[in-house]
Amino acid sequence: MALNAAPQPGEPTPPRHVAIIMDGNGRWATNRGWPRLVGHRRGAERVKQIVRACPDLGVNWLTVYAFSTENWKRSTEEVLGLMKIFRRYIEREADGLAAEGVRMRFIGGRDRLDKKLQALMAGIEARTAVNSRLNLTVAINYGGRDELTRAATRLAEKMQAGQIDTPDEADLAACLDTAGCPDPDLVIRTSGETRTSNFLPWQAAYAEYEFTETLWPDFSPEHLAQILDRFGLRERRFGGV
């Protein structure tokens, strides 16, 4: 699918929702003899390019894995540096995202994040809430098992309050961080790793997966377009014949 070109009759249909495990920032920098945080900063720049490309590629929902619940195990310097990058991204991109019709949301536990970052997250969510050209969801302090545990707790509270009698899948889904968002059609992981790393285990149950050797700072809109073309050739049966 060419950039800036809408699908034509008979062409593959792009996925509505793409989720990306953005991996390889540290290795990208280390390979060049630079500090890992240089790679993370370059990775943040790449996010901006992919966000801008998605609407022209027919993608309406984009979810990116920015920081996992396991990433707290990294060095204090790297964690603090990443949090600074997140704050700067929100501060610098707020105007542009709002002007380009991007709605920004966050998933993951917020209680462990610093108060300034939490305030920035809430602010940009409120500011872009009316936008719909692209729905951008950023996973920060996110882990699929943690999300499911928190969702189960919410569901139990609803049952105890008499709001739900016999819960079903829809009731649990409504308690997830992603409530109201469509499930991803396609999950991409960069850097050559072939793990799902606790990312959207419930939501991606029937997603297609694509693993690429390309490190995230090198992952261009053209790379994304090529993957979307391959996705359009897949036959999705969802358990049927």
pLDDT for residue 12: 59
Where do runs of H (alpha helix) occur along the chain?
Answer: 25-30, 36-53, 76-99, 115-127, 144-160, 169-173, 221-232
Is 223 a known ligand-binding residue?
no
pLDDT of residue 2: 45
d(CA 173, CA 154): 11
Residue 25 marked as a ligand binder:
yes
Annotated active-site residue 135? The verdict is no
Give the per-residue pLDDT at 6: 42
28 is in an annotated binding site: yes
Buried b vs exposed e over 44-60: b needs ≥16 C-beta within 10 Å? bebbeebbebbbebbbb
Tokens of 104: 């920004």
Q: Which residues of the chain, if any, have pLDDT below 70? A: 1-12, 238, 240-241
Q: Is 13 annotated as a binding residue?
A: no
63 is in an annotated binding site: no
Provide the pLDDT for residue 241.
57
Query: Tokens 């993370």 map to which residue?
Result: 40
* Active site annotation includes 71: yes
> What is the token pair recorded at 162?
């008499």
Listed by start position, the domains of the chain span 17-142+184-232
- The verdict on whether residue 70 carries a ligand-binding annotation is yes
Q: Domain 17-142+184-232: give its CATH architecture.
A: 3-Layer(aba) Sandwich (3.40)
What's the angle, vertex CA 143, arms to CA 208 and CA 201, rounded to 5?
30
Query: Which residue in 71, 183, 198, 218 is the catalytic one?
Result: 71
